[in-house]
């Protein structure tokens, strides 16, 4: 069993109060790590270390020097690739191919891409006339915001945490990260990387613990935290926004979703089935961008339902490192209970269960893991709980539609607005529908295809602000104007 410590001012330290909590494997519920919980004074020490580093060693570097160090971080993640893969598999129980192809390489890319962007994006400049005819020149400079509080979730822990730490550091800020209590491992490992490449002490800090009355809340209430970037549930975002109001701190929020997939009858059928299968079931449905509402044009409805059923029934449950398996468990016993309660609600509300709806039979050594079946429903009204609320599990409801106008209204009839995936070979229609769907991110004939220079974020209750490319620079820096009389 591993002992996991906080990472404060370049040192791995136990919380001063001596409190710990346990991490169990999602795969078999065995104890895998004991984590030191940060108390109020530990969080204070981490924030003060970040504050001092911002004003000290980190603030003294030129952009080029910072960028070189961040390239070093990316290279060291790549060098220690297998350590990160193993840690993330242990934390989440998700298959090795998801780690090696998506989650860990993206962690390294999150440092490289934003290092490049900060080097290459100019600031604005305006010349203006003055009454004496000599004129004046205005130019903007970007300055870091200061200490950024980073609060991240468990579903793609390394990708989502570095997605914020990468640009925050590239812009010259320092960070205090509170990873999810469910997934403490890769964030802690990143502390080792920071030390080995020579990132100054205090630039990157990790505090472990929970939300309310624990590390998360202590961090968001700390007066020396200058801005908060958060990924997680909309409900948690509300609590954090209240904390950030004290002291007028800026926030960037990436929140929940209840995303629609729209499949027109003219779509490449096999590609659409494959795409929706990925968007509904990848990572056992624990992807904020995932599809839980599928709308399929009536002429292909029955055929599509049967084809997606075959995909759902084809998954191979097993340990992440087992090459024969391609499907993992949910993150925790608590989350499994939540997902199963939605499965029960769907049945009670009259769903036709096309497949799944329960727990798979697992071999004895995995039976205590948090496994649930990929599940497909049809026949529910749009008012049903599993059609309206985010389940965050491997499930979707499929509903037929008859016109473009109708499906746009169906897709938009939800409080969330994170992402959509649209499947059609009619390019004009694809553009038309994409422009009217009320979400931050739309994919056409694809899903989760990411260019890190693009704007990423949610509409409605799915978020506040945009990150990615120059949008991250907007959040992680403040532009100041300097006016020079010529």
Minimum CB distance to ligand 6OD, residue 298 (Å): 31
User: Minimum Å distance from CB 290 to ligand 6OD?
Assistant: 7
Please give the residues from 407 up to 466 whose contact with ligand NAD meets the rule CB under 6 A.
418, 458, 462-463
Residue 149's closest CA among 176, 114, 182?
176
Cβ-based neighbour number of residue 175 at 10 Å: 25
Q: What is the 3-state secondary structure (H, E, C) of 191-244?
A: HHHHHHHCCCCCCEEECCCCCCCCHHHHHHHCCCCCEEEEECCHHHHHHHHHHH
> Smallest distance from the beta carbon of 218 to ligand 6OD, in angstroms?
25
Q: Is 153 in the site for ligand NAD (CB under 6 A)?
A: yes
- Cα separation, 374 vs 300, whole angstroms: 22
Residue 231 sits in the site that holds ligand NAD (CB under 6 A): yes
- Report, in Å, the least distance between residue 100 CB and ligand NAD: 20
In the bound complex, what is the minimum distance in angstroms from residue 310's beta carbon to ligand NAD?
27
Rg, the chain, Cα only: 23
Binding of ligand NAD at residue 180 (CB under 6 A)? yes
List of residues contacting ligand 6OD (CB under 6 A): 155-156, 160, 163, 287-289, 450, 456
Residue 180: which of ligand 6OD, ligand NAD, none does it interact with, CB under 5 to 8 A by kind? ligand NAD
Q: Is 88 in the site for ligand NAD (CB under 6 A)?
A: no
Which of 98, 160, 272, 384 is the binder for ligand NAD (CB under 6 A)? 160
The encoded tokens of residue 112 equal 């490289």
CA max distance for the chain:
87
**Is 177 in contact with 49 (CB distance < 8 Å)?**
no
Closest approach of ligand 6OD to the CB of residue 414, in Å: 17
Q: Which of 37, 76, 217, 254 is catalytic?
A: 254
- Give the separation between CA 353 and CA 343, rounded to whole angstroms: 9
Nearest residue (CB) to ligand NAD, 155 versus 375: 155
Active site residue 274: no
Residue reference for tokens 């981490």: 46
Instruction: Pick the binder of ligand NAD from 72, 172, 202, 257 (CB under 6 A).
Output: 257
Q: What are phi and psi of 417, to 5 degrees?
A: -160, 60
Cα distances (angstroms) measured from residue 283 to each of 185, 290, 318, 351, 362: 18, 9, 13, 24, 18
* 392 lies in the binding site for ligand NAD (CB under 6 A): yes
Residue 163, binding choice from ligand 6OD, ligand NAD, none, Cβ under 5 to 8 Å by partner class: ligand 6OD
Nearest residue to ligand NAD on Cβ basis: 211
Closest CA to 441 of 413, 415, 414, 422: 422
Residue among 151 and 354 whose Cβ is closer to ligand NAD: 151
Binding ligand NAD (rule: CB under 6 A), the pick from 154, 317, 342, 371 is: 154
Angle at 172 between CA 168 and CA 176, to 5 degrees: 50
Give the one residue of 199, 288, 430, 444 binding ligand NAD; rule: CB under 6 A: 288
Q: Which of 37, 254, 292, 297 binds ligand NAD (CB under 6 A)?
A: 254
Binding at 377: pick from ligand 6OD, ligand NAD, none (beta carbon under 5-8 Å per type)? none
Give the span between the Cα atoms of 263 and 280, in whole angstroms. 14
- CB of residue 181 to ligand 6OD, shortest distance in Å: 17
As measured in angstroms, the least distance from the Cβ of 160 to ligand NAD is 6
By beta-carbon proximity to ligand 6OD, the closer residue of 391 and 399 is: 391
Q: Which stretch binds ligand NAD (CB under 6 A): 235-243, 272-280, 296-304, 349-357?
A: 235-243
Q: Count of H helices and E strands in the chain? A: 16, 23
Answer yes or no: 288 catalytic. Answer: yes
Specify burial of residue 221 (Cβ count, 10 A radius: 0-12, 13-18, 19+).
middle
Q: Is 390 in the site for ligand NAD (CB under 6 A)?
A: yes
* From 171, 187, 288, 399, active-site residue: 288
- Residue 344: CB atoms within 10 A of its CB come to 11
Tokens representing 347? 């049945």
- Report helix, strand and coil shares of the chain as percent, to nearest 5: 40, 25, 35
**Residue 313 near residue 355 (C-beta atoms within 8 A):** yes
C-alpha span between 275 and 269 (Å, rounded): 10
Residues binding ligand NAD (CB under 6 A): 151-155, 160, 178, 180-181, 210-212, 216-217, 220, 231-233, 236, 239-240, 254-257, 288, 390, 392, 418, 458, 462-463
Active-site residue list = 254, 288
């Amino acid at each position: 069993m591993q002992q996991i410590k906080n990472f404060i001012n370049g040192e791995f330290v136990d919380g001063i109060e001596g409190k710990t909590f346990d991490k169990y494997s999602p795969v078999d519920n065995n104890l895998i790590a004991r984590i030191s919980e940060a108390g109020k004074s530990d969080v204070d020490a981490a924030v003060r270390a970040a504050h001092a580093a911002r004003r000290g060693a980190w603030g003294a570097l030129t952009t080029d020097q910072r960028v070189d160090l961040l390239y070093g971080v990316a290279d060291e993640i790549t060098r220690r690739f297998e350590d990160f893969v193993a840690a993330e598999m242990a934390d989440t129980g998700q298959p090795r191919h998801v780690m090696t192809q998506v989650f860990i390489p993206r962690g390294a890319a999150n440092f490289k891409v934003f290092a490049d962007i900060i080097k290459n994006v100019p600031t604005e400049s305006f010349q203006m006339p003055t009454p004496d005819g000599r004129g004046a020149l205005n130019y903007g400079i970007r300055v870091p915001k200061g200490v950024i509080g980073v609060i991240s979730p468990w579903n793609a822990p390394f990708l989502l945490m570095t997605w914020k730490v990468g640009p925050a550091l590239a812009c010259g800020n320092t960070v205090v990260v509170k990873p999810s209590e469910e997934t403490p491992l890769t964030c802690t490992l990143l502390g080792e990387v920071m030390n080995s490449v020579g990132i100054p002490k205090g630039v990157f800090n990790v505090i472990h613990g929970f939300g309310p009355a624990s590390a998360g809340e202590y961090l968001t209430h700390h007066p020396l935290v200058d801005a908060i970037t958060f990924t997680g549930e909309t409900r948690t975002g509300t609590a954090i926004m209240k904390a950030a109001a004290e002291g007028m701190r800026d926030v960037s929020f990436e929140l929940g979703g209840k995303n629609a997939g729209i499949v027109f009858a003219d779509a490449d059928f096999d590609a659409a089935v494959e795409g929706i299968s990925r968007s509904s079931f990848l990572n056992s449905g624990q992807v904020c961008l995932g599809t839980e509402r599928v709308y399929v044009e009536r002429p292909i409805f029955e055929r599509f339902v049967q084809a997606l059923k075959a995909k759902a029934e084809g998954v191979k449950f097993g340990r992440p490192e087992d090459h024969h398996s391609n499907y993992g468990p949910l993150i925790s016993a608590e989350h499994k209970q939540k997902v199963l309660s939605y499965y029960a609600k769907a049945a009670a509300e009259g769903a036709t269960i096309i497949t799944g709806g329960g727990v798979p039979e697992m071999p004895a050594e995995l039976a205590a893991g948090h496994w649930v079946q990929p599940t497909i429903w049809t026949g529910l009204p749009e008012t049903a709980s599993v059609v309206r609320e985010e389940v965050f599990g491997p499930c979707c409801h499929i509903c037929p539609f008859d016109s473009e106008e109708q499906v746009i209204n169906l897709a938009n009839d939800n409080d969330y607005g994170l992402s959509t995936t649209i499947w059609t070979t009619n390019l004009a229609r694809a553009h038309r529908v994409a422009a009217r769907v009320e979400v931050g991110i739309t994919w056409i004939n694809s899903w989760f295809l990411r260019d890190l220079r693009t704007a990423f974020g949610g509409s409605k209750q799915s978020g506040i602000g945009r990150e990615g490319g120059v949008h991250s620079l907007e959040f992680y820096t403040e532009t100041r104007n300097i006016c020079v009389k010529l």
